[in-house]
Structure formats: C-alpha cells, structure tokens
C-alpha cells in the first residue's frame, strides 16, 4: 500500500500494462503559482549570442534600437520573455563591469579566454543590457564576478545600478547618461564556483558567498535584493547540503542548479543527424531533471521547510557537437524536434515543482546551444524550442493544477522511459491550460484525461509536430516547423480524449 501511494504522488508513472495513457486533472485543486521566471533565458558573451545575435550596433544596416536588433526584440516580446541572465556563464567570472561603461572609444579590450579566444571590445555593457531588458519587458539577472573580481567591485556594481542618491558610483552612472537607477533585484554571486568560477570546494564557496553577499547593499531599502548562490552541477547533493547548512537563510535568496542534456562530455553527438539511440539517451538525460529537482529540493526542505529559498535552474538544455565548419568555442548548434521534446518535458517538470523552482534559464537565447533564435547576418529564424516556449507561456504566473499520469512507455532496446508528460494550470482569466508531450519516436499515444473538480464546455488546442524527428527550421525554410491548430482532441462530459502523434507537443485550452 505504501508503495502504491508513493507512485500516485509522482507527476508521472510509467507502467507498460496500461493500454493508453490516463491522466487525472484535479481542476478544482489550485496549488502554488507557477512563477513566470521559470521561463527565463540566458545571454552570455559567447560566440554570436551578444554580437550579431542581440546586438549589431547602432550603425548597422540591420534595423535596430540602440544597437539591439528589432526583429529579436519583437520575437522575444511575443515569447513573453520574463527574465534574462547576463553576462555569463563562465564569462561572468572574467568580466569586469567597469570596462563596459563610459565612452566606447575608451573602453579596454579583453580576450574571451573561455569561448574561442576572441577579443571582447566591451561595446555591449551594463547600460546596453539593462536598457535592452527594459525594452523587452524582461527582468535582468546579473551574474557577479567573484572568481577574478573583488568584493569592492561587485559592491560598486550594485551601487552603480541601484542607488538613486549621491555616491561615487551613482554619480558616475549619471555622467554616463543614465540618471535614474535600474533597481536590479536578481544577483548571482558567482557562477559554477565548483568549476570555471574558481574550482572551489563547497565549504570554501559558502564562506565566499557570505562575504560577498554581506557587502551587496540593498540601496533602495526595499528588501527586494535577491542574492543567488552558485549551486550544484547535476547530482552534487553535497554542494547543496553544504550551502544550505552554512549560509544563513536570511542571506540566501536562491540556490542554482545546472543540468544539461548531453550524451557524453567527450562525445556529444550531432545536433541534426543523430540516430534513435542518441535521441533516446538525450531524452533520458532530459527526464533526469525531475529526479535532480526532487532530491535537491528534499535537501533544501531540511533547512528551509517553508520554502523561502528558491531553487533556480539557471542553465539547462541540450548540448551537442557544434555545426560543422563553425568555431568550436562558439557552441553554435541547430535545433530540431528533439529540442522541442527537451523543452516540453523540462518545462512540465519545472511547472510541477513550482513550489520550490522559482526561476530557470534556458541556455541560451540566441545562436548558442539550445537557442530559441538563430541569426545569420540580416536573417533570423525561430527554432522549435522557441515555439514550445511560446505555446507554454500561458502557464506564466498561472496557478498550478495537480495531475496524476499513468503513461505508456517509450522503449528502445532494453530501456524504457515514460512516453507522455503533462502539466496544467489555471490563469487569471479562469482558463485552464494543459501541456502534453509525447517523446515516443514512433508511436502515437492515445491519452484520456479525466477531469475532477470542474466543468468545461469549450476546447481548443495547438500542436507542434513534424514528419521527421531530425527536422529543423533553416534560413532557407524558416517555417518548416510552426505551431498548428490541433483537431485530435475531443471533450465529452468530464473526459478528454487526445490522439498525440509521435514526438509532438500539444497545449490545450479549456473553459
């Protein structure tokens, strides 16, 4: 009996004995809010993410606003991008923010030692980023340098962007053309301190965090400044335990977690011409996110049962070999229906764990890793991942509705994965949205959703699907994969019947 109850508590249960996938939607049980910042993004000084991606400069022939591409602004606004992390990533702990403010012709250059060994001219800096976020309607998330920087440097940055009074840094900001403070709330205290951020031990980093956070003053006295600790890689539960045990909770706004869906770090496999074995094991890595979130959350619950400290998955996504002929340090890869599957199942996991997961950042927004946008000079395309995140943005700041899922398996060789994942929410207008993903590469899934606690009379839906798993949007065929009206769902009384094609994402709206 205990074992059965445990299974029912899971967001999905994979049992091959079921002839079809059966889901119970508890539409009358409203749980916590799905924080819109779960749908955040990441912009690192890496490859063509900033230069040529977001930023082309105000003298470019490409239509722009203060140097930022207008087509990118429009696309990200439609995506309802809620939050954007910058300037890294590994780059953050080599970045000295004072090099990127003031007259551009007087800014020093540096070498981007992490990503391609290219020269960084610092033409895109703090003002550019924060004003771009304002243009996008996105909350900025600044990653501070504690690897090669100093406490004073980070404290000065906080003062520069947040203090409206008279001070050395706020006066300098005004001299550089920005009269009012931006009041940035979200601050990362270093990045991947266990690796590129300093190769620190958890115990050492916990002390460094305490020191840096102490001097990051809340200049507007709002109490809203949120310091976020550089958290664990994958299943490093010791790291999370050490931070939660050694950092006072009042100093800790969030703890980060990084997890990429990668085959092997030494042999990542192609982004497009992959086989089913590679697809299956990438999906296995994507679904591992559920276990990672559960186990890191359980550790956090020991020290923070009231869930005041957020779990922030500020790097996630698929990571493959770069496209042939491109700089290996630029991490440029295409984006196929496999990436749509990663996005769909991962966002369902975050939604279902939104009691603890309050923020996340897909890595990365443009031209790097699992991008939502790819550019080539004046051309721009939207990827399958973009379309999934656009379909899912109905969940932003909506109330989570619990679901119990009993799903068929997707089997390859001697291994099996749950074929269908699901999350649901109710928005401020009273509309219920259900997001479904079928990762099975070959089989259609017949899904029955039993509705408990509500009556609906209207149903509509959208689907993202394609003929081949390896399909993608190219600059020659930018609309090969786009969301379409979904007609294979029916509502009879309290029962929804859905026919999901292989490797597809469906979002239903009920009222």
Cβ(271)–Cβ(333) under 8 Å? yes
Cβ(33)–Cβ(400) under 8 Å? yes
> In 3D, which of 264, 290, 289, 265 has the Cα closest to residue 277?
264
Predicted TM-score of the model (pTM): 0.94
192 annotated active-site: yes
The dihedrals phi and psi of 455, each to the nearest 5 degrees, come to: -120, 130
- Per-domain residue ranges of the chain: 2-31+401-510, 36-397
Q: Which fold has domain 2-31+401-510?
A: Immunoglobulin-like (2.60.40)
DSSP notation for 408-427: -EEEETTEEEESEEEEEEE-
Q: Tokens 């299956």 identify what position?
A: 280
Name the active-site residue from 120, 208, 315, 390: 315
SS (H, E, C) 333-389: CCCEHHHHHHHHHHHHHHHHCCCCEEEEEECCCECCCCCCEEEECCEEEECHHHHHH
> In the chain, what is the straight-line distance between the N-terminal and C-terminal CA atoms, in Å?
36
Strands 357-362 and 310-318, bridge-based pairing:
parallel
The first and second tokens of residue 27, run together, are: 């539409």
CATH assignment of 36-397, among 3.20.20.80, 3.30.1050.10, 3.30.420.10, 3.50.50.60: 3.20.20.80
Report pLDDT for 9.
Answer: 37
What residues contact 430, with CB distance under 8 A and at least 6 apart? Answer: 511
Q: Tokens 């790291």 identify what position?
A: 239
> In 3D, which of 460, 461, 462, 468 has the Cα closest to residue 503?
468
264 annotated active-site: no
Q: Kindly state the DSSP code that residue 107 receives in the 8-state scheme.
A: P
Report pLDDT for 223.
Answer: 67
Cβ(352)–Cβ(287) under 8 Å? no
The first and second tokens of residue 225, run together, are: 């400044």
How many other CB atoms sit within 10 Å of the CB of residue 356?
21
How many other CB atoms sit within 10 Å of the CB of residue 475?
12
Report pLDDT for 473.
Answer: 98
Using a 10 angstrom Cβ sphere, with 0-12 exposed, 13-18 middle and 19 or more buried, the burial of residue 316 is buried
Name the active-site residue from 44, 120, 139, 192: 192
> In 3D, which of 256, 386, 327 has the Cα closest to residue 46?
327
Cβ(317)–Cβ(362) under 8 Å? yes
H-helix or E-strand spanning residue 316: strand 310-318
Report pLDDT for 20.
Answer: 83
Q: Kindly state the DSSP code that residue 109 receives in the 8-state scheme.
A: P
What residues contact 128, with CB distance under 8 A and at least 6 apart? Answer: 55, 66, 67, 68
Spacing of C-alpha 190 from chain mean position = 18
SS3 of 288, please?
Answer: helix
Size of the chain in residues: 511
SS3 of 390, please?
Answer: helix
Alpha carbons within 13 A on the beta-carbon side of 180: 3
Q: For residues 254 and 358, what is the distance between their CA atoms, to the nearest angstrom?
A: 9
Fold agreement (2-31+401-510, 36-397): no
Tens digit of pLDDT per residue, the chain (511 long)? 333 333 333 444 444 444 589 999 999 988 899 999 999 999 999 999 999 999 999 999 999 999 999 999 999 999 999 999 999 999 999 999 999 999 999 999 999 999 999 999 999 999 999 999 999 999 999 999 999 999 999 999 999 999 999 999 999 999 999 999 999 999 999 999 999 999 999 999 999 999 999 999 876 656 689 999 999 999 999 999 999 999 999 999 999 999 999 999 999 999 999 999 999 999 999 999 999 999 999 999 999 999 999 999 999 999 999 999 999 999 999 999 999 999 999 999 999 999 999 999 999 999 999 999 999 999 999 999 999 999 999 999 999 999 999 999 999 999 999 999 999 999 999 999 999 999 999 999 999 999 999 999 999 999 999 999 999 999 999 999 999 999 999 999 999 999 999 999 999 999 9
Cβ(125)–Cβ(101) under 8 Å? yes
């Amino acid at each position: 009996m205990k074992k059965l109850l445990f299974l029912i508590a899971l967001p999905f249960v994979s049992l091959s004995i079921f002839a079809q996938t059966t889901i119970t939607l508890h539409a009358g049980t409203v749980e916590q809010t799905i924080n819109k910042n779960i749908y955040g993004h990441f912009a690192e000084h890496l490859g063509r993410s900033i230069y040529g991606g977001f930023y082309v400069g105000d003298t470019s022939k490409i239509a722009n606003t203060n140097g930022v591409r207008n087509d990118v602004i429009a696309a990200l606004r439609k995506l309802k991008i809620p939050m954007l992390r910058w300037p890294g990533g590994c780059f953050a702990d080599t970045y000295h923010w004072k090099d990127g403010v003031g007259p551009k012709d007087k800014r020093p250059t540096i070498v981007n030692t992490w990503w391609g060994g290219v020269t960084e001219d610092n033409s895109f800096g703090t003002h550019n980023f924060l004003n771009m976020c304002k243009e996008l309607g996105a909350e900025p998330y600044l990653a501070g340098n504690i690897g090669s920087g100093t406490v004073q440097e980070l404290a000065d940055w906080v003062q520069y962007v947040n203090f409206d009074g008279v001070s050395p840094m706020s006066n300098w900001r005004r001299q550089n053309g920005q009269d009012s403070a931006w009041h940035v709330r979200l601050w990362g205290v270093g990045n991947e301190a266990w690796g590129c951020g300093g190769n620190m031990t958890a115990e050492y980093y916990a002390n460094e965090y305490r020191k840096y956070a102490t001097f990051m003053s809340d200049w507007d006295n709002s109490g809203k400044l949120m310091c976020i600790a550089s958290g664990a890689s994958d299943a490093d539960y010791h790291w999370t335990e050490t931070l939660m045990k050694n950092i006072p909770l009042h100093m800790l706004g969030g703890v980060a977690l990084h997890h990429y869906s990668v085959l092997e770090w030494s042999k990542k496999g192609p982004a497009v011409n992959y086989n089913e074995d590679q697809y299956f094991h990438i999906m296995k890595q994507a679904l591992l996110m559920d276990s990672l979130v559960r186990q890191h959350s359980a550790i956090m619950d020991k020290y923070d049962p009231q869930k005041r400290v957020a779990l922030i998955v500020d790097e996630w996504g698929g990571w493959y070999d770069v496209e042939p002929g491109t700089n290996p340090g630029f991490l440029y890869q295409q984006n196929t229906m496999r990436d749509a599957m990663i996005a769909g199942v991962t966002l369902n996991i975050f939604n279902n764990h939104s009691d603890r997961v309050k923020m996340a950042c897909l890595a990365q927004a443009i031209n790097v890793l699992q991008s939502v946008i790819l550019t080539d000079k004046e051309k721009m395309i939207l990827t399958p991942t973009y379309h999934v995140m656009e379909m899912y943005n109905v969940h932003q700041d909506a109330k989570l509705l619990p679901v119990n899922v009993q799903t068929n398996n997707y089997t390859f060789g001697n291994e099996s994965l749950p074929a269908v994942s699901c999350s649901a929410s109710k928005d401020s207008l009273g509309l219920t949205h259900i997001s479904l993903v079928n990762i099975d590469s070959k089989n259609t899934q017949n899904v029955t959703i039993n509705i408990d606690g509500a009556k609906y009379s209207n149903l509509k839906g959208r689907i993202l699907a394609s003929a081949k798993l390896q399909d993608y949007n190219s600059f020659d065929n930018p609309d090969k994969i786009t969301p379409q009206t979904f007609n294979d769902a029916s509502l009879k009384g309290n029962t929804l019947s859905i026919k999901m094609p292989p490797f597809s994402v469906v979002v239903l709206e009920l009222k």
